[in-house]
Amino acid sequence: MLDLAGKYALDSECERTPLARLYRGYRRADGVPVLAKLQRAERPSSLELARFRHDHEMLAALELPGLARPLGLETFENGLAVVLADPGELSLERWIASTPLELTTRLGVASSLARVLGRLHEKNVIHNDLRPSHFFLSAAEPAAVRLIDLGRATRLAHGTRAHAAPTDADEGLRYAAPEQTGRMNRVVDKRSDLYALGAVLYELFTGRPPFDASDALELVHCHIARQPLPPSAIERTLPRALSDAILKLLAKTAEDRYQSATGVERDLERIARELARGVEPAFELASDDASGELSIPQRLYGRSAALAELRTYVEACARGAKHLCLLAGASGIGKSALVSELGAGVERSYFARGKFDALNRATPYSAIIDACRGVIEAALAEGQERLLEQRAALARALGPNARVLLDLIPELELVIGPQPAVPPLGAVEAQRRFEDVFQGFVRAFASAERPLVLFLDDLQWADAASLKLVQLLLQSKSVAHLLLVGAYRENEVSAVHPLSLMLYELRRQAAPLSSIEVGPLRLADATQLLADTLGAPLPDVEPLAAVLLDKTSGNPFFLARGRSSARGLSSSSARRTHGAGISRASRLSSPPTTSSTSCWSDCGACRSRPRRHCAWRRASDTASTVARSRSSRATSAVRHRGCGRRSMPASLPRSTTTIATPAKPGAQRATPS
């Protein structure tokens, strides 16, 4: 028997979860039965300690029916212990394995699970880690389930969404939604919990999880791309409506799932009532399902042709090709979203991204190094056997010069271990050595089984060294199975820009190069987007779509701002008032009058971007007549980085001197009035 803080007496261990050992016991003061969660690790990390504290705080703050009642947070050995009032005799995981299938009883348990989750969502809390071992029940009253763990739960402000939550590779991935795997261009919201609920119900009614792969990468692939067997095909006694409801919860996209746990509970209760009457349940699922929130779809609209073209390049690289595909378009037009959607569909490839920064141009290879870190993180997330293979491949490819890359990418040491120092060389020889080593790094990760896809964003801000390295990779005969995707703002790249010069040289050498113009959304795409958002027929939302399209010039970034202004509305009220929303959207989408001196608050094209991307940029260009006179002082014009608008800064007096400003080739140079 264990003593816990002198307050509780604990018997032997009764259950285990990935992070906790569960002990039954009683409180010494009054004999109240308790369940204590003790940390499994002998020396828990700071993250594990924080999770236990968060678990206790969330359970104590919510106090909802269906949640275990916390009695205290105590110190035990080197870790913590969360003490709960006895939530039941055994976990749902053990109950499923030890109890024969009795449909009526399990339907009652399923309804209780949905009810508990619905209460949690009403408080704007996402659980992020639903699994059978986190529910406890009593064999005498199985429908009275209790949720005992909120260690990864997230509180959300109204209308916001969370990022992908980490999961345990050995257990949590079995119940993780596709967007929680980190391989999807989707955010995590309440519907991610509904997918996990579907996985729990699948196991409740069939005795096994929807996917039972042993490898974590294969499990991720299953959640993203494979359809589970219908539960009725495994357990023949299950009614078709129940099987379809579980499959609806397990839909790959959040929009195709149930939108609320309450809708799931109502359908399960209806199935139970009709079975009790001896009638085979047959009705439209989710007919009484409404989330009470206006959810903007996370699909990609108007980019199917561009996405299909990118996927053909991935397939070609898997066959041994290498390719550079450039995405050109204005800021906010959706270039990054397009490539993120591509990354969600290439789970059998190494996909990583890096982004150049206008304020970090002095650091060479910054985006390429970030992308390489992403590749290394993906390799570390794989199984031990695959990691050993990758280590051997890197050792062969890098040879004795691996230390050259370790100085730039310290994370590589986690894969290949410490490396000896390399002999010093002259500047030219050291550069060639680095280029050879980097090509070896690419060859080690790029293969027919797993081609390498690197996305480099904001190429208009790339440094000269990075552009040269990209050119070298495309010209190298030893590099294959590589797809480079680059995005840039075409309005910021002139004919003499370093990127333009690199592309000219690549075309002259017939390098594998293509370009995709990412343009504004069409009216049909905007109409479909609004119809999916408001749940209204296409003809009813077309006038609103036309207004928003006109005000935003079809830019998805600004169009999303117009839609997000209505997030406070419920879905039902949004459907009733989508006509009145036209005038509101017009006001919200109209850019304010632009001043010639203030970009921070008055520039309609820039004001919605982050402040650091909306900085002033001086473009000093002295007129030729003034340049001839050494005594003349060059004056400065100011250009808004976001919109290209030029104006005089407020701190400088107006001058009547002609100022030559940068202009596109063939165009007349502009002069301020």
Q: Judging by beta carbons within 10 Å of its beta carbon (0-12, 13-18, 19+), is residue 162 exposed, middle or buried?
A: middle
The Cα angle at residue 161 between residues 344 and 93, in degrees rounded to 5: 80
What the block records as the tokens of 333 is 């037009």
Residue 121 confidence (pLDDT) above 60: yes
Residue 294 confidence (pLDDT) above 90: no
Among the residue ranges 58-62, 122-126, 539-543, 595-599, the one predicted with the least confidence is 595-599
Provide the angle, in degrees to the nearest 10, between the axes of the packed helices 464-475 and 366-380.
60
CA distance 99 to 137: 12
Band the pLDDT of 164: cuts 50, 70, 90.
very low
**Contacts for 495 with CB less than 8 Å, ≥ 6 apart:** 664, 665
Distances 23 to 11, 84, 171, 204, 634 between C-alpha atoms, Å: 6, 10, 21, 24, 78
Classified as helix, coil or strand, 541 is helix
Residue 498 confidence (pLDDT) above 70: yes
> Is residue 286 within 8 Å of 258, Cβ to Cβ?
yes
What is the mean pLDDT of the segment spanning 133-140?
90
Residue 341 confidence (pLDDT) above 90: no
Segment (H or E) for 529: helix 523-534
What is the mean pLDDT of the segment spanning 162-170?
48
Edge-to-edge strand order for the sheet containing 2-4? 2-4, 8-16, 20-27, 33-39, 79-85, 70-76
Q: Kindly list the domain boundaries of the chain, sorted by start residue.
A: 2-85, 90-276, 304-517, 523-589, 609-673
Residue 156 confidence (pLDDT) above 60: yes
CA distance 378 to 505: 33
Going by the DSSP 8-state scheme, the letter that residue 357 receives in this structure is -
CA distance 130 to 117: 9
CB atoms within 10 A of CB 220: 24
> Is residue 117 within 8 Å of 197, Cβ to Cβ?
yes
State residue 587's pLDDT score: 41
Band the pLDDT of 171: cuts 50, 70, 90.
low
Band the pLDDT of 187: cuts 50, 70, 90.
confident
What the block records as the tokens of 136 is 């406890």
State residue 563's pLDDT score: 57
Distances 591 to 600, 606, 608 between C-alpha atoms, Å: 14, 10, 10
Name the residue with higher pLDDT: 276 or 586. 276
Name the residue with higher pLDDT: 167 or 653. 167
Classified as helix, coil or strand, 578 is coil
What the block records as the tokens of 557 is 């970034």
Name the residue with higher pLDDT: 310 or 535. 310
What is the mean pLDDT of the segment spanning 198-224?
88
| Range with top average pLDDT, 132-146, 262-276, 618-632 | 262-276
Band the pLDDT of 579: cuts 50, 70, 90.
very low
1.20.58, 1.20.120, 1.10.10, 3.40.50: which CATH number matches 304-517? 3.40.50
The three state secondary structure string of 193-215 is: HHHHHHHHHHHHHHCCCCCCCCC
> Is residue 94 within 8 Å of 139, Cβ to Cβ?
no
Band the pLDDT of 564: cuts 50, 70, 90.
low
By percentage, how much of the chain surpasses pLDDT 90? Answer: 53
**Contacts for 673 with CB less than 8 Å, ≥ 6 apart:** none
> Is residue 482 within 8 Å of 314, Cβ to Cβ?
no
State residue 81's pLDDT score: 94
**Contacts for 638 with CB less than 8 Å, ≥ 6 apart:** 599, 616, 617, 618, 619, 646, 647, 648, 649
Residue 71 confidence (pLDDT) above 60: yes
Going by the DSSP 8-state scheme, the letter that residue 577 receives in this structure is T
Name the residue with higher pLDDT: 165 or 91. 91
1.10.510.10, 3.40.50.460, 3.40.1190.20, 3.40.50.970: which CATH number matches 90-276? 1.10.510.10
State residue 18's pLDDT score: 78
Band the pLDDT of 562: cuts 50, 70, 90.
low
> pLDDT tens for residues 602-652?
344 444 333 333 333 333 333 333 333 333 333 333 444 444 444 433 433
Classified as helix, coil or strand, 606 is coil
**Contacts for 208 with CB less than 8 Å, ≥ 6 apart:** 202, 234
Residue 43 confidence (pLDDT) above 60: yes
Residue 248 confidence (pLDDT) above 80: yes
Residue 570 confidence (pLDDT) above 70: no
Q: Does domain 2-85 have CATH number 3.30.200.20?
A: yes
State residue 213's pLDDT score: 80
Pairing assessment for the beta strands 513-517 and 322-328 based on DSSP bridges: parallel
Band the pLDDT of 589: cuts 50, 70, 90.
very low
What the block records as the tokens of 429 is 């020889």
Band the pLDDT of 444: cuts 50, 70, 90.
very high
Edge-to-edge strand order for the sheet containing 135-137? 90-91, 135-137, 146-147
What is the mean pLDDT of the segment spanning 295-318?
88
Segment (H or E) for 260: none
Going by the DSSP 8-state scheme, the letter that residue 134 receives in this structure is G
Classified as helix, coil or strand, 597 is coil
CA distance 89 to 402: 56
User: What is the average pLDDT value for the chain, to the nearest integer?
Assistant: 81
Pairing assessment for the beta strands 636-640 and 646-647 based on DSSP bridges: antiparallel
Residue 585 confidence (pLDDT) above 80: no
By percentage, how much of the chain surpasses pLDDT 70? Answer: 80
Classified as helix, coil or strand, 261 is helix
Q: Which residue has the tokens 């009695």?
A: 71
CB atoms within 10 A of CB 366: 20
Residue 532 confidence (pLDDT) above 90: no
What is the mean pLDDT of the segment spanning 173-178?
90
Classified as helix, coil or strand, 188 is strand
CA distance 167 to 584: 41
Within this chain, domains 2-85 and 90-276 share the same CATH topology = no
Alpha helix (H) residue ranges in 535-662: 538-552, 556-564, 571-576, 581-589, 599-602, 624-627
> pLDDT tens for residues 457-468?
999 999 999 999
State residue 162's pLDDT score: 52
> Is residue 355 within 8 Å of 459, Cβ to Cβ?
no
Model pTM?
0.67
What the block records as the tokens of 248 is 């609806």
**Contacts for 323 with CB less than 8 Å, ≥ 6 apart:** 313, 316, 317, 482, 483, 484, 512, 513, 514
State residue 614's pLDDT score: 36
**What size, in residues, is the chain?**
673
Q: Judging by beta carbons within 10 Å of its beta carbon (0-12, 13-18, 19+), is residue 138 exposed, middle or buried?
A: middle
Residue 478 confidence (pLDDT) above 80: yes
Distances 550 to 264, 504, 526 between C-alpha atoms, Å: 40, 36, 11
- DSSP lists the bridge partners of residue 355 as 457
> Is residue 360 within 8 Å of 520, Cβ to Cβ?
no
> Is residue 186 within 8 Å of 179, Cβ to Cβ?
yes
| Range with top average pLDDT, 225-229, 481-485, 570-574 | 481-485
- DSSP lists the bridge partners of residue 485 as 325, 455
Classified as helix, coil or strand, 308 is helix
CA distance 640 to 637: 10
